[in-house]
Structure 1
Amino acid sequence: MTLHTSKSRGFSLIEVMIAVLVLAIGILAVSKLQTSLLRSGSDANKRSIAANIAQKKIDDLRRFVEISTLDDWNDLAVNSVTSLKYPLSLAFNNIADNEGGRIQPGPINSGNDVFNLSWTTDNYYYNGVNQIATTNAVAPDVAFKLAHVVVSWDGVGDDTNNVVSFDTFIHAYDLSHTSLGGSPSSVGTPGPVAKYNPLGAPDVINIDVDSGKLRQTSKPLPDVVSDENTLVQFEVVTYHQDGSDFIADRKEEFITASCNCELTSNDLGYTPGHVLWDGVNRDDELGYEINKATATETNNDSDAENICTVCCRDHHDATASPIKYVAGTTTGDHPHYKADGSIATVGEEYVESCRLKRIDGVFRAFQDWNLKDITVMDRASLADGNQLQTDYVDYQKNFILNNVASVGGTPTKPALRSPVSMTLGAQQQLEARGIYIDNVYDVGGNPNPASYLTYVQSASKTDRLEVIPFAEVNLTLLAAWASDTPTNVTVTNEDADTVVDPVNDYYGTFSRGWASALNQATPGADITTTMRDDNHGLTQVVATSPSPNNLDDTLTVNVGASAGAITVSGTYEITYPLGNTGSPTISPAGDCNLQGNPSTYTCSFNSPWTGTIQIAVNIKTGQKTKRCSGSSDAFGASGLTTNTTHNFASFACDQPPL
């Protein structure tokens, strides 16, 4: 028998070393790939930031306010906080190599990275023959400039790859077509015309702000996207008529949003956008980034997330910024209140309402709304052609001028607005209207500077109302309503909801200010409308601050009898001293009747009634010696709305027959 044996073999040392070498090479390759990916991602992020800086500079160069100026760009004042040039003297002829605009050349910090900004420019002229542009100075004025904007940063490897550059043309244009003045560098044409379709009264009211110019505010549109978020949007449009067309001169678009925010530690955020006065006109000024308290949006509806990201991040005040979001804030941040009314601390959620305005096509956080006045009236009486509308517009014009600069006539609310007369069982819509007025700042952040007030105070400035940033708004669906005697007159105050059909049924989704006359009474009830004066007033946020500032206004409603329901009744008596009797009559015969003698009479009229009632007798047949006539004293009334009793005094039939 043969015995077979086998011997097991393992891996040799050489095989193990080869395997380890292959594994090491693989790990090294993966590590190299990961490093490349990280570097690539970082490079892409830096390129994005650099491109944004370059684009900002291009926009900055285009925002000149004059064609030419005697001021040297290098001598212009600089904001000590932002390092930006003040804008009042920026001119087209300032634009040169590393000169022009507000943003200065040099290093710009973004997070932990440093970018270097620079630019060069070439001047172009038109030769006047075939209008061919050339860099040769063949004309006295520059037609346009070619700007080459470069942003670079330190990187790894070839530094030529760490550069982003853009080229752009910057045209001179004829400022005589604007209110900015200046000397045009070449013959220009007017800018594009924006046609406008004005909205009508009584829901939208025109305020005349200059010769031929009107301002109106569209109906606010509440959009309740969730229990947590309400967005309220409207436009303020200043316009004029040109033939059969209406042209928008200025269109301002706003969104006011309520958001849930979580307070975080200090980070970068924007100071308030605000209204800037340049000496002859106003413009919107963007806020700038500073390190301050911030927050993040949390638990907001998807339709509100983008708006709330801006709101939560930026709506914080800081000592470093002279302009504040919330009026009355002096140092540090304003308080942020939780839903229970207590002040939030870092890491806690709170409720915020922000005002955002579209500037350069983007909604930016803007200084808070400031409601100055609210007026309640009968909606139907504000229709075009009614005296109440005329009186209300005059009141608002005087109020605005008086509030801003203590000029204009004495602002007195229209006498025709109260009392409102209703008949029993009638229903009608009341309307609340408010006026918001913004502060105006100079380049140093000083509110309502002397040059602005002087301009507004001058009656010779026909556009002084136009330069005031005000919005006259229909607040009916945003204000709170109450009746002091709901047994006589009720008024609706339903929860806000998204308006479904703002054109045809603005008041149909939810009801506020709808009055119902239940009992006849004079006065019937006082109806009061109330509104917070800040952003929360528009977004319907329940009072979170301990002492919200509210404005209110009241009118009286008188309730008369319903149409066809009032009666005038009483007694009468006729004597016949001549010994005869006859059949009395009453006028107006179609509305009145008699019941016997001595007896009663009853008349039925439509309310309100104006007229005369009289009872008479006339006997002109039978014995001549007994023929006679007589009549009662007349009972007359004007505008009678209530049931009335009148007893006629006795009268005799002792006059010659008629």
Structure 2
Amino acid sequence: MISNFASSAQKRGFTFVEVLVALVIIAIGVTGLVSLQRTFMQSSVRAAEHAAALKIAQQRLEELRFEIYADIDSGTDSVVLDDKTYAVSWTVAPQYFNGLWRTTGDPDLPNPLPPTPDAKSVNIEVAWQMRGGEDQLLTLEGWVGRIAMRDGGLAVTAPPPRNEPSVTYNPGAAPEVIAVKLTEDETATQYQVKETTRPTPTVMQRGDKLTVRFDTVTYDEATQTQRVEDFITINCSCMFTGFEDNANTPHRLMLKDGRLVLDPNGGQKTKKMTGVVNPAVSNQPELCTQCCRDHHDNSTMVAEQVVFKHDTNRKTNGNHRHFSRDASGNLVEANQGSNNVYEESCRMRRIDGWYAMYPDWQFHAVTATSASFLINETGAQTYTQYVRDVVKALVMGNDLPASPSGRDISVTPGSYQLIGRGIYLDDMTDAHLQEVRQSILNNEPDWIAKVPFYEVNLTLLGGWDTTNTAVADVTNEPIQTIVDPEQNYYGTYSRGRISALDGGVATVTMNAALGNASVLGSKPIHPLEDGELNSSVNVTVTASDGTTPLYSVTGEIYCLQYNGDACKNTHYRDVSVSGVDVTCTFSKQGNADTGAYACNGIPAGTSTVINFSKSGFTFTPSTVAIINLSSNEVHNVRMDEN
């Protein structure tokens, strides 16, 4: 019975109700698929239109870069792309630098106002309508600098053998970021541009050991690609372990087909003396393991001109000498035997995501100057030409040119930041050097793009002194990047900031050690680093307007985040320092630099109130009252994040 019933049920087929239910289920599924497909199509169209709008905005910004600076102004346009009309508008605002960037309407604009803004900010808006009628808007911001002044030393590495995404180059603005064309041909339309991406190196401290980092970017107009060189320099305490075959040779740049590329033979394993981190010194940077192990040479490396450090008196195995310091602080050569301690410093570059060993810095020239000299177009051009002349002289084996003229300053009593910049040139093989020399002799306009040179801001890493502290004193604080408010340490320190105090002339000098010590701002660890380069600026102070003495109100602004960490540059943005009937400025040149304000050249007898403010921060004190000013006054302020 059961078997016959089942057989009968199988033969009768589906009922009408079952068919209807199935059709409803299928219809619901198909409707969902159609809706999902429509959503995918809309998303695809939306993404394509956004990409098109971004391309239009970037192209407009690129076009503005190549316009005559005075002609760069706000405007509108419309662009038709893929049958879609995009409305383009751009707003240009003048930007003036007097310690911070300020624009029209800012009460702290420079006075008198320069006839030409130091930079122009550009805000580009691209508007269009989706097919469904929905309005869309894309915004792109950028800056256009008035001048391109510094030939910072960025070498270009060749593109790897793969297709890379195109990028649009938007230059930074002076003086923090300086874009430089690597060609002397002013009519060239395709060239390389390089710029330093940080105004000053980042300085980090662990115990008595330092890590100094900075990077630079090179943009290639021809291929629309960019390359980043990320350098880090550290000092360590090490201990010899003996000869091993697991140590690396340095990476370096070489010349191939007229371009600087990474030497494919760099970073090879070789047998040589090695070392380890000195266990008696705690809290050393992690990279010291690599530094202690690899920073040694052997005879093969010397023969191939690929060494870490220059030395006029090498060991018989080709290694350069290593030293430690005795109780009196004098350099004493370390015996290269197991467990003997020595001091070390290493330069590294990030390659394929990892820091790899690089030859030591070769320091050749230093220039001390004021920020105003570098912002000024004439001064900027003078300094840029000086950098080129120094590099050319080094390549050709000639005497270095004289330092740029026009760097001396005349000021009233107050506070002013000086800047020190260094020029470095990496070693080149004989063949590399000869090719660059021939390019110069052939008057090739882009010869400098073949040279591995670097231009670095050393303000916070060099030593500063003055010949007359009564006229103009200068800060030269110890490098201190830890936070300890009880010891007045706020993760920052100051160097190169002059306090103009009284009428007269003072000569302010910056000096820096040689080799890696110049970048680390530390004591030399080798006799060949135990020298220094220096540069001076004459400071003339006028302490009267002819009838009335002039004074100043200045001070430092320390800053802590709400969690107790040291503030970064971003926390100092939009700090307002204002006074009644006096002009005050605020300046800061990097995360490690202590922010400072200055109300300069105030007539004697002035009474005023100076106010400090920034959204999200509390200032202690928030105001400083000046009553019948009769001398230079210093009032330090602390700002705490709410």
TM (norm. structure 1) is 0.51
Once the two structures are superposed, what CA deviation does each residue of 1:98-155 show, in whole Å capped at 9, x if it has no partner? xxxxxxxxxxxxxxxxxxxxxxxxxxxxxxxxxxxxxxxxxxxxxxxxxxxxxxxxxx
Whether 2:532 is the aligned partner of 1:550: answer yes
SS, match of residue 492 in structure 2? coil
Picking from 416, 435, 457, the partner of 2:441 is 457
Contact 2:231 2:350 in 1 (8 A): yes
Write out aligned runs for 1:13-24 (5 A): none
Instruction: Give the partner amino acid of 1:201.
Output: A
Q: Which residue in 2 is equivalent to 1:363?
A: 355
Picking from 228, 232, 235, the partner of 1:251 is 228
Picking from 262, 279, 293, the partner of 1:313 is 293
Once the two structures are superposed, what CA deviation does each residue of 1:529-572 show, in whole Å capped at 9, x if it has no partner? 111121122123223434613111111111112457548xxxxx
Q: Describe the shift of the 1:496–1:565 C-alpha distance in structure 2 as closer, same or farther (beyond 3 A).
A: farther
Give, in whole Å, the separation in 2 of the partners of 1:535 and 1:390. 28
Q: Describe the shift of the 1:344–1:222 C-alpha distance in structure 2 as closer, same or farther (beyond 3 A).
A: farther
Q: Which residue in 2 is equivalent to 1:422?
A: 411
Picking from 205, 226, 238, the partner of 1:261 is 238
Instruction: Give the partner amino acid of 2:231.
Output: F
Q: Name structure 2 gaps, 5 residues minimum.
A: 1-156, 484-489, 550-600, 604-642
Contact 1:487 1:518 in 2 (8 A): yes
Percentage of matched positions with identical amino acids: 30
Write out aligned runs for 1:493-504 (5 A): 493-498=476-481
Write out aligned runs for 1:81-100 (5 A): none
Give, in whole Å, the separation in 1 of the partners of 2:174 and 2:356. 30
Instruction: Give the partner amino acid of 1:281.
Output: R
Give, in whole Å, the separation in 2 of the partners of 1:402 and 1:373. 11
Picking from 182, 193, 203, the partner of 2:166 is 193
Instruction: Give the partner amino acid of 1:488.
Output: V
Contact 1:216 1:472 in 2 (8 A): no
Contact 1:255 1:356 in 2 (8 A): yes
Q: Which residue in 1 is equivalent to 2:254?
A: 276
Q: Which residue in 2 is equivalent to 1:351?
A: 343
Contact 2:240 2:276 in 1 (8 A): yes
Give, in whole Å, the separation in 2 of the partners of 1:492 and 1:325. 34
Runs of 4+ in 1 over 6 A off after TM superposition: 178-181
Whether 2:313 is the aligned partner of 1:333: answer no
Instruction: Give the partner amino acid of 1:310.
Output: Q
How many residue pairs get aligned? The number is 366
Once the two structures are superposed, what CA deviation does each residue of 1:447-499 show, in whole Å capped at 9, x if it has no partner? 64423431343313x32111111111111011111112112211111111339
Q: Report how far residue 278 of structure 1 moved.
A: 2.5
Give, in whole Å, the separation in 2 of the partners of 1:566 and 1:510. 34
Give, in whole Å, the separation in 1 of the partners of 2:546 and 2:218. 47
Contact 2:236 2:284 in 1 (8 A): no
Give, in whole Å, the separation in 1 of the partners of 2:202 and 2:422. 16
Q: Describe the shift of the 1:248–1:532 C-alpha distance in structure 2 as closer, same or farther (beyond 3 A).
A: farther
Q: Which residue in 2 is equivalent to 1:535?
A: 516
Give, in whole Å, the separation in 1 of the partners of 2:203 and 2:268. 30
Give, in whole Å, the separation in 2 of the partners of 1:491 and 1:189. 52
RMSD, matched Cα: 3.2
SS, match of residue 369 in structure 1? coil
Q: Describe the shift of the 1:326–1:410 C-alpha distance in structure 2 as closer, same or farther (beyond 3 A).
A: closer
* Structure with greater contact order relative to length (CA < 8 Å, sep ≥ 6): 2
Contact 2:507 2:536 in 1 (8 A): yes
Give, in whole Å, the separation in 1 of the partners of 2:166 and 2:546. 56
Q: Describe the shift of the 1:406–1:260 C-alpha distance in structure 2 as closer, same or farther (beyond 3 A).
A: closer
Q: Describe the shift of the 1:179–1:368 C-alpha distance in structure 2 as closer, same or farther (beyond 3 A).
A: closer
Q: Which residue in 1 is equivalent to 2:420?
A: 432
Q: Report how far residue 260 of structure 1 moved.
A: 1.3
Write out aligned runs for 1:224-623 (5 A): 224-239=204-219, 249-268=226-245, 269-285=247-263, 286-299=266-279, 304-305=285-286, 307-322=287-302, 323-329=306-312, 332-340=318-326, 341-345=331-335, 346=337, 347-383=339-375, 385-405=376-396, 411-417=401-407, 419-423=408-412, 425-441=413-429, 446=430, 448-460=432-444, 462-498=445-481, 509-521=492-504, 524-546=505-527, 548-563=530-545, 565-566=547-548
Give, in whole Å, the separation in 2 of the partners of 1:354 and 1:288. 17
Once the two structures are superposed, what CA deviation does each residue of 1:492-540 show, in whole Å capped at 9, x if it has no partner? 111113399xxxxxx992100000112211xx11111111121122123
Write out aligned runs for 1:58-73 (5 A): none
Give, in whole Å, the separation in 2 of the partners of 1:527 and 1:275. 37
Give, in whole Å, the separation in 1 of the partners of 2:213 and 2:482. 11
SS, match of residue 356 in structure 1? strand
TM (norm. structure 2) is 0.52
Give, in whole Å, the separation in 1 of the partners of 2:159 and 2:164. 14
Give, in whole Å, the separation in 1 of the partners of 2:234 and 2:400. 35
SS, match of residue 395 in structure 2? helix
Q: Name structure 1 gaps, 5 residues minimum.
A: 1-177, 182-187, 501-506, 568-605, 609-658
SS, match of residue 466 in structure 1? helix
Q: Report how far residue 312 of structure 1 moved.
A: 0.4
